Amino acid sequence: MAVRKHINIRHLGRVDYLPAWEAMRRFTEERTAETQDEIWFLEHPPVFTLGLGGRQEHLLDPGDIPVVHTDRGGQVTYHGPGQLIVYVLMDLHRRGWGVRRLVRALEQSVIELCGEFRVTAVRRPGAPGVYVDESKLASLGLRVRRGSTYHGLALNVDMDLAPFRRINPCGYPGLAVTQTRDQGIRGGVEEIRQRLLPYLLVQLGYDSTTGTSSATVRAPL
């Protein structure tokens, strides 16, 4: 009899970056071989995050937006309201996956979502994320600790893109940034979340879920 792959889904609403980061680290540190994998959907208030390889020179003019030096991979990016954050807390060792497979699965989920609306989205070799017409639509950054991942995907939905002009997005000077709204994909963060989830489940290989609303989720944060 095949073993069903189960994942818990948490809808956390709008959460400051630092408490969410700390919660991911704590979850990963405390998980055991029996702990279910989880996906956390949320938004962040405005914040720039600089990854482990991040270089200060790519922060051009942060102004009054906070800057957090975090432990994910990658350079600098911006998070803000109207951007769908998808944090994937997966036991890679248990699944027999490598990081590259997870990155491709997350990218493919967004690519297929775009395809639903006849928008051609692609990945770029050596530059994780999803792009439409040379503009970046979604960013990826992961951390692996004790064989498990945290951090994940940031999908621009319907947000103020101006703060991206204060940085070199993902370390690329002049990189254009886009969002689903500007590509003619209807819906705000919640609707896009609902549309993206089935693609995520297929690409990540899960066949059963448990969902928890933001109103009842307090322990992780």
Which residues carry out catalysis? 170
The DSSP output letter for 4 is P
Q: What share of the chain is helix, strand, coil (3-state, %, to 5)?
A: 30, 35, 40
Number of separate helices (H) and strands (E) present in the chain: 4, 11
**What number of other Cβ atoms are within 10 A of residue 171's Cβ?**
19
Using alpha carbons, select from 211, 215, 214 the residue that is nearest to residue 39: 211
Query: What's the rounded Cα separation, in Å, for the pair 82 and 113?
Result: 17
